[in-house]
Amino acid sequence: MRSILKQTTIKKNATPHIFRHTFISLLAEASVPLPMIMKRVGHDDAKTTLKIYTHVTSKMQIDADQKISEMYADLLDIPFKGDFAENVIKT
């Protein structure tokens, strides 16, 4: 692992666990279904995956904002610009 880290720009003390956490978070960000994530990482209990390893990433927040904007722009009578929070604040 140390030889791999030397080839990167990562400066902090990285452990295999950090890479596992990042991998699971990226799977969630990519909208991989929870059962598939659990199977890939060997979890039997969904609570473990949901509570410990998944969190809202910036990309997930942006994607959620965009989906909300697309779904509710007509109801809110706002033009869709791709940023729900920005659109709502301006009205």
More confident residue, 45 or 53: 45
Phi-psi region of 31 (alpha: psi -120 to 50; beta: other; left: phi over 0): left
Q: 8 and 26: one domain?
A: yes
**31 & 11 share domain:** yes
Based on the fold, state whether residues 12 and 40 are members of the same structural domain: yes
Q: What is the pLDDT of residues 49-91, one digit of tens each?
A: 888 877 777 777 788 888 888 887 777 666 555 555 554 544 4
Supply the DSSP string of 1-14, one letter for each residue: -HHHHHTS---S--
pTM (predicted TM-score)? 0.58
Asked whether 29 and 44 are in contact (CB, 8 A), the reply is no
Q: How confident is the model at residue 39 (pLDDT cuts 50, 70, 90)?
A: very high
- How many domains does one find in the chain? 2
87/65 same-domain check: yes
Confidence of residue 33 (pLDDT cuts 50, 70, 90): very high
Based on the fold, state whether residues 1 and 40 are members of the same structural domain. yes
pLDDT at 11: 80
Sign (positive/negative) of CA torsion 43, 47, 53, 55? positive
**What residue has token string 């902090």?**
12
Range of the domain at 62: 56-91
**Are residues 35 and 71 located together in one domain of the fold?**
no
- Verify that 48 and 82 share a domain, yes or no: no
CA-to-CA distance for 29 and 46, rounded, in angstroms? 16
Average pLDDT of the residues in 12-34: 86
Whether 67 and 82 map to the same domain: the answer is yes
